[in-house]
């Protein structure tokens, strides 16, 4: 059967990014997050958490905070910074969406209440467990907190989820379905069952170190956190006097259809996804000036992604970095954290280094940023997310011009 003809890109309206907020182990808030991205890599432990996390500033009272899983707490904290940064768009509430993401939702609350069930019996299980564990809780909470009555949907495509969410949110604005949208992702899966399950499938680093694209890589360090973005139709953002910090230029999503956890050999799915995103943005590979890789520090993922980037951009064709050497792998929130890293990279004129990696694995023909931040002239930049289940996601962001 002949290959299908490529579909013409339908970019529609321009999509502005007018604000964002970040909560991560390496820093709370955008400025601290940037400092963390340029700090030392992770060197001990199979998971990393936000130390001394206090959710109470983001809730009406401590009781309300206790009735929200950390996934929801992180999301509301990042959303608060996002709204403070962006201001409120002029879009009608019915055309103001919430497209959010998570990989596993309230896993911590699920584990805690299963322990209660076993130890104390059925009647002691919290009546708040369902709204605490359901994957759509974080997006629902943002929608209710800010009165957003447009489409409120949650994407759960494993480690590609928040990249998919950002791309989908931008497409809804571009196609005129909504005028503004809060999007991003949140995750907190570093509880006992999360660490045990990822550890027993040999996905976690036995050395407790995240070393993307290194010959010493042996798995990822489980991370957590959230990043939330304000997307608006460009002309409306300009009209209200918003400070535009970036633009969503294009996005794509596809599937390997190969294996539940392993990437397709040679990164064939990732290759097709990157090319589809370029087509959607109306750009060529030469237009991309940075790639924030999925770069998990697992043997198969990094090898496949390095091969895919080389196929699309050529050997050493574009600077590439992985921020997971600092953040760990935040699963469904990873793409959102990495989109925030791209926006900060554009603001600072620096590409953060791949922390934890001092040597590129043999046979990888990529231009990996190592050792320290690299100056660049900001332009279109790509972020990749590759998830269990064969999910691939790519977004292309650009500076506000």
Mean pLDDT of successive 10-residue segments in the chain (401 residues)? 41 94 96 94 87 95 95 98 97 97 96 96 96 96 98 97 98 97 97 94 93 95 97 97 98 95 92 98 97 95 96 97 95 98 98 96 96 96 95 97 84
- State pTM to two decimals: 0.95
CA-to-CA dists, residue 207 to 37, 210, 216, 221, 222, angstroms: 21, 9, 10, 9, 13
State the chain's mean pLDDT as an integer.
94
280 part of a folded domain: yes
- Is residue 159 flagged as an active site residue? yes
* pLDDT tens digits, 168-194: 999 999 999 999 999 999 999 999 999
8 part of a folded domain: no
- CATH code: domain of residue 254: 3.40.47.10
- Is residue 82 flagged as an active site residue? no
From CA 383, how far away is CA 275, in angstroms rounded?
13
| pLDDT of res. 131 | 94
295 part of a folded domain: yes
391 part of a folded domain: yes
Total domains, the chain: 1
117 part of a folded domain: yes
- From the candidates 85, 164, 294, 391, give the one annotated as an active-site residue: 294
- From the candidates 26, 159, 191, 273, give the one annotated as an active-site residue: 159
Domain that holds residue 358: 15-398
CA-to-CA dists, residue 274 to 149, 309, 310, 396, angstroms: 33, 8, 11, 9
4 part of a folded domain: no
6 part of a folded domain: no
- Residue in the block written with tokens 């209710």: 144
Q: At what angle do helices 334-348 and 161-174 cross, to 10 degrees?
A: 70
Yes or no: say if 288 and 277 are a contact pair by the CB < 8 Å rule.
no
- From the candidates 85, 164, 329, 391, give the one annotated as an active-site residue: 329
2 part of a folded domain: no
| pLDDT of res. 10 | 55
């Amino acid at each position: 059967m002949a290959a299908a003809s490529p579909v013409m890109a339908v970019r529609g309206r321009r999509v502005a990014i007018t604000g964002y907020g970040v909560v991560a182990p390496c820093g709370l808030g955008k400025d601290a997050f940037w400092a963390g991205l340029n700090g030392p890599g992770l060197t001990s432990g199979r998971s990393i958490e936000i130390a001394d996390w206090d959710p109470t500033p983001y809730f009406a009272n401590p009781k309300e905070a206790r009735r929200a899983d950390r996934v929801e707490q992180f999301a509301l904290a990042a959303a608060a910074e996002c709204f403070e940064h962006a201001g409120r768009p002029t879009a009608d509430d019915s055309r103001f969406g919430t497209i959010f993401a998570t990989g596993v939702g309230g896993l911590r609350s699920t584990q805690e209440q299963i322990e209660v069930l076993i130890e104390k019996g059925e009647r002691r299980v919290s009546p708040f467990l369902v709204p605490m564990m359901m994957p759509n809780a974080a997006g629902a909470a943002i929608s209710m907190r800010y009165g957003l009555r447009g489409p409120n949907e949650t994407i759960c495509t494993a480690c590609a989820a928040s990249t998919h969410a950002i791309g989908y949110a931008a497409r809804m604005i571009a196609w005129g379905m909504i005028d503004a949208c809060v999007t991003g992702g949140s995750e907190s899966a570093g509880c006992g069952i999360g660490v045990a399950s990822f550890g027993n499938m040999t996905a976690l680093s036995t050395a407790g170190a995240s070393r993307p694209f290194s010959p010493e890589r042996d798995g990822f360090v489980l991370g957590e956190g959230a990043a939330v973005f304000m997307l608006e139709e460009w002309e409306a953002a300009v009209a209200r006097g918003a400070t535009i910090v970036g633009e969503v230029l294009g996005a794509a999503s596809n599937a390997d259809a190969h294996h539940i956890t392993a990437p397709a050999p040679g990164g064939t799915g990732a290759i097709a996804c990157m090319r589809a995103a370029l087509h959607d943005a109306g750009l060529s590979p030469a237009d991309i000036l940075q790639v924030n890789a999925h770069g998990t520090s697992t043997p198969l993922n990094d090898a496949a992604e390095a091969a895919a980037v080389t196929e699309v951009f050529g050997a050493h064709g574009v600077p590439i970095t992985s921020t997971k050497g600092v953040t760990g792998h935040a699963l469904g929130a990873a793409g959102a954290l990495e989109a925030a890293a791209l926006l900060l990279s554009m603001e600072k004129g620096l590409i953060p280094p791949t922390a934890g990696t001092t040597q590129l694995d043999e046979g990888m023909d990529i231009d990996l940023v190592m050792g320290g931040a690299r100056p660049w002239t900001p332009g279109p930049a790509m972020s990749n997310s590759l998830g269990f289940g064969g999910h691939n996601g790519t977004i292309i962001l650009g500076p506000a011009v």
